[in-house]
Amino acid sequence: MLDLFVLGAGGIHVNIGDIIYQLAIFLLLLFLLRKFAFDKLLGIMKKREDHISSEIESAEKSHQEAKQLIEQQTQLLKEARQEAQGLIENAKKIAEEQKNTIIDTAKQEAERLKESAKKEINQEKEQAVAALREQVASLSVLVASKVIEKELNEQDQQKLINEYIKEVGEGR
């Protein structure tokens, strides 16, 4: 059985002419393929390699751009948060200032009303004292005229004073 693989062994005749013919045809085919097909095949493969390489570069470039965009967006978000925090702090500060202004204004108004009330009370008090003085003066004149009309003893004088005090008390 192994004899089949050995040249010239067994009943198989090998024709050298056929081998040379087949070798020549193979070399001619190889030459034609190299001249007409291999260049085109290699060109197509080179184009494919260049295309794949450019796609990889494009993907890497897109990846880098995406990273940069993410970084930019992160930075913008951070700045927006800082700006929002600043606005909140500013609003709190303005609100505190307005609160203090309102409180100060209210205190000033209360003080003004208090002073106005004191002045009004003092004016009314002075008016009451003036009215009382007028009454005292008129009553003094009345008492003096009654005293003159009659000589009073000590008991009558005490009675007259008590009446005068009652009149002053009722006059209020």
The pLDDT tens digits for 124-152 are 988 988 888 788 777 777 777 766 666 66
> CA distances (Å), 36 to each of 25, 26, 32, 50, 83, in order?
16, 15, 6, 22, 69
pLDDT tens, position by position, for the chain (172 residues)? 445 455 555 556 778 989 999 999 999 999 988 888 888 888 889 999 999 999 999 999 999 999 999 999 999 999 999 999 999 999 999 999 999 999 999 999 999 999 999 999 999 988 988 888 788 777 777 777 766 666 667 777 788 778 877 877 776 5
Angle at 26 between CA 23 and CA 30, to 5 degrees: 140
- The residue extents of the domains of the chain are 13-171
pTM reported for the whole predicted model? 0.41
